[in-house]
């Protein structure tokens, strides 16, 4: 209910903004922007065409540019950054968390990134350069260095006094991390324990040494799985020597999970998950043309297979009506398995130890469904050809379509299970390439099985 109301509010805000822009009255637009949170402004920017988007950006207070940039789609954010001078960008990034600055600078050219870094204060620059040394899609690239560390020999009262002097805590702080003199992590203390324990209690008595830790080089997808599996709000990031480098918080993990979901969804259609919905026509057309060209090649390949059996089709014209059925059923069955396996791989469920069982299980499922639907389509085709009195052997035609259906369902399911495992082994993203390869396999195999069997019976 709350989500629906929030969506309606955003739509109303967008409508008000568009009405104000259409009327040429910019003061109401500025007033509306001042009332919105940075994340909502970013949402509005992503929901408007480039012309309107640029007007909104010009009306935005300079002090809020950095907060808005961190919430934007990478492609849209890049378009605004290209309009900014290095000093302006440095000012916008000055108050952002380290992980957000690293995310933004990581998308810039080395030259621009260095210019911006030189304009930041020395402490921020050192911290950001250290974070930039890790890959963007690793725990080190995801972490925030704004972390509260305490020593093991102090008391709860000392920690409370330190927190009062500090005045505030980093967002999503649910634990304080206990480290030694070399910043090697000893464990963590929940904030709840600090608030409820006797002030004279030594930290050593309440420290949890079984804290979940994240290696700095761990891929961000594995980090997301750990957070999801253990319901974490934050987790410390360590180097190879066990030194505390920073922490990862749930808000960053949510971004990773959403990015993975967008990637899987968009890749199935050959689209970039960062593609701007309201982007430029020429840029969008160029990106999609490449994918359409690849698909055209696969369709031509399937057409060539059909061409090999031109004489068979001329003799049994009813085959032309049946041609779409077999590849379509194989494609759907294969896509079901492909999606299941890709999801299992992304969640870390599939490994060397259970791949064999998975293949046997999918093979058994394909045979059961293959036999079932082969019998169904064979009966339907037998009845249809008998009704049409086509002058051909009705039983042979039923066997042809049924056998092709069984063969292609099994082929599609096995391909859907094997392809993502193979593609990952050769470092190709299964979400991007799997669908195209699977479609090609099921189309070619389906046409070849149907027309091949028909040639055996009727040629």
Q: Is the pLDDT of residue 85 over 60?
A: yes
Question: Residue 105 is encoded by which pair of tokens?
Answer: 């600078």
> Distances from the Cα of 342 to the Cαs of 254, 410, 432, in angstroms?
20, 19, 11
Instruction: Say what the pLDDT of residue 218 is.
Output: 92
Q: Is the pTM of this model over 0.75?
A: no
- Exposed/middle/buried for residue 278 (C-beta within 10 Å: 0-12, 13-18, 19+): middle
Find the range with the poorest average confidence among 72-86, 183-197, 275-289, 358-372. 275-289
**Greater model confidence, 106 or 240:** 240
**Greater model confidence, 71 or 403:** 403
Query: What letter does residue 213 receive in the DSSP assignment?
Result: -
Q: Is the pLDDT of residue 269 over 70?
A: no
- Reduce the DSSP state of residue 272 to 3 states and report it: coil
Instruction: Say what the pLDDT of residue 147 is.
Output: 87
Q: Is the pLDDT of residue 156 over 90?
A: yes
Share above pLDDT 70 across residues of the chain, in percent, rounded to a whole number: 90
What average pLDDT score do residues 249-266 get? 79
**Greater model confidence, 80 or 291:** 80
Question: Residue 111 is encoded by which pair of tokens?
Answer: 């030259």
Q: Is the pLDDT of residue 146 over 50?
A: yes
Instruction: Say what the pLDDT of residue 109 is.
Output: 78
Instruction: Say what the pLDDT of residue 11 is.
Output: 66
Find the range with the poorest average confidence among 182-191, 258-267, 374-383, 395-404. 258-267
What is the bridge-based pairing of β-strands 244-249 and 175-179?
unpaired
Q: Please give the span between the terminal C-alpha atoms of the chain, in angstroms, as a whole number.
A: 64
- Which residues does 404 contact at the CB level (< 8 Å), separation at least 6? 326, 446, 449, 450, 453
Q: How many CB atoms lie within 10 A of CB 373?
A: 17
Instruction: Say what the pLDDT of residue 414 is.
Output: 93
Across the chain, mean pLDDT equals: 84
What average pLDDT score do residues 335-353 get? 83
Q: Assign 271 a pLDDT band (cuts: 50, 70, 90).
A: low
Q: Is the pLDDT of residue 273 over 60?
A: no
Q: How many CB atoms lie within 10 A of CB 402?
A: 24
Q: Assign 266 a pLDDT band (cuts: 50, 70, 90).
A: low
> Quick one: which of 301, 302, 299 has its CA closest to 291?
299
Q: Assign 7 a pLDDT band (cuts: 50, 70, 90).
A: low
* Alpha carbons 446 and 29: distance in angstroms, whole number: 58
Q: Assign 415 a pLDDT band (cuts: 50, 70, 90).
A: very high
* Alpha carbons 383 and 395: distance in angstroms, whole number: 10
Q: Is the pLDDT of residue 389 over 70?
A: no
Q: Is the pLDDT of residue 2 over 60?
A: no
Strand ranges (DSSP E) for 306-362?
Answer: none
Count, in order, helices (H) and strands (E) of the chain.
23, 6
Query: What letter does residue 233 receive in the DSSP assignment?
Result: S
């Amino acid at each position: 209910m709350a989500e629906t109301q929030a969506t309606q509010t955003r739509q109303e805000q967008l409508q008000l903004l568009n009405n104000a822009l259409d009327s040429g009255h910019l003061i109401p637009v500025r007033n509306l922007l001042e009332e919105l949170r940075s994340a909502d402004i970013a949402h509005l920017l992503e929901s408007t065409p480039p012309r309107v988007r640029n007007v909104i950006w010009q009306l935005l207070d300079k002090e809020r540019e950095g907060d808005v940039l961190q919430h934007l789609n990478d492609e849209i954010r890049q378009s605004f950054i290209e309009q900014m001078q290095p000093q302006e960008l440095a000012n916008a990034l000055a108050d952002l968390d380290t992980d957000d600055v690293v995310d933004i600078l990581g998308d810039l050219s080395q030259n621009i990134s260095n210019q911006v870094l030189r304009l930041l204060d020395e402490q921020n620059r050192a911290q950001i350069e250290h974070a930039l040394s890790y890959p963007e899609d690793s725990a080190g690239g995801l972490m925030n260095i704004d972390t509260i560390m305490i020593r093991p020999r102090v008391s709860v009262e000392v920690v409370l006094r330190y927190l009062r002097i500090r005045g505030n805590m980093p967002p999503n702080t649910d634990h304080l991390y206990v480290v030694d003199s070399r910043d090697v992590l000893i464990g963590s203390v929940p904030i709840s324990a600090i608030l409820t324990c006797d002030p004279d209690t030594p930290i050593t008595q309440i420290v949890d040494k079984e804290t979940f830790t994240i290696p700095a080089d761990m891929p961000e997808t594995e980090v997301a799985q750990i957070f999801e599996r253990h319901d974490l709000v934050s987790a410390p990031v360590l180097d190879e020597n066990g030194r505390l480098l920073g922490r990862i918080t749930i808000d960053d993990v949510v971004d990773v999970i959403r990015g993975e979901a967008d990637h899987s969804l968009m890749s199935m259609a050959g689209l970039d998950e960062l593609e701007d919905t309201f982007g430029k026509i020429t840029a969008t057309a160029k990106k999609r043309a490449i994918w359409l060209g690849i698909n055209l090649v696969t369709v031509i390949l399937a057409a060539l297979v059909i061409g090999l059996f031109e004489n068979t089709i001329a003799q049994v014209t009813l085959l032309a009506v049946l041609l779409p059925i077999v590849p379509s059923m194989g494609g759907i069955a294969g896509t079901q398995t492909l999606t299941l396996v890709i999801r299992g791989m992304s969640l870390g469920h599939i490994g060397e130890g259970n791949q064999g069982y998975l293949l046997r299980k999918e093979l058994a499922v394909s045979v059961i469904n293959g036999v079932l639907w082969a019998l169904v389509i064979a009966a339907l085709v037998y009845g249809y050809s008998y009704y049409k009195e086509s002058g051909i052997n009705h039983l042979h035609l039923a066997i042809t379509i049924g056998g092709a259906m069984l063969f292609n369902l099994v082929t599609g399911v096995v391909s859907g299970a094997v392809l993502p495992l193979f593609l990952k082994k050769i470092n190709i993203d299964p979400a991007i390439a799997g669908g195209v390869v699977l479609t090609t396999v099921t189309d070619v195999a389906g046409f070849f099985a149907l027309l091949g069997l028909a040639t055996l019976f009727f040629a």
